[in-house]
Amino acid sequence: MRSNYKMSDSLFVFVQIPESIDALEREEKYERFLEESLSSTGYGELTGGGAMLSAPDAEGNRTIKFVGIDIELFDVNRGLEFLKSELKRLGAPSGTILEYTIDDVLTKFDIYEEEPVN
């Protein structure tokens, strides 16, 4: 199957980290380091972040189910491998997923696994 994806294209990658940490903790633990290392290598840039909240409980309280980081990769092959190793180095837990779409095919990778999880 021939891919329409060009290596010169950037690739949006959503990083899903199964941790219940607030925005400041996410920034201090992951975002600051990823932003610096992606910029210095030229592999990409950090473009955003957030959290997925649970549905409200009986008292209306919500908890953080996972945190997310948005990355735009400029060097896809090196950037994906770099993200995996950098997230591991920063202490991302098992179940951390890199999610991206190439040629309309959604791919999800656990950074600790060799095969896609989808």
- pLDDT tens for 7-57 read 458 999 999 999 988 889 999 999 999 999 999 999 999 999 988 887 888
1: pLDDT strictly greater than 50: no
Identify the structural domains of the chain with CATH numbers, from first to last: 11-110 (3.30.70)
- pLDDT tens for 57-96 read 888 888 888 899 999 999 998 999 999 999 999 999 999 9
CA 65, chain centre distance (Å)? 15
- H helices of 17-111, in order, are 23-26, 32-41, 76-89
Backbone angles phi and psi of 23, in degrees to 5 = -60, -40
Count of alpha carbons within 13 angstroms of residue 69, beta-carbon side: 31
64-73 sheet: strands from edge to edge: 44-53, 64-73, 11-17, 97-102, 105-110
Both tokens assigned to 74: 């400029």
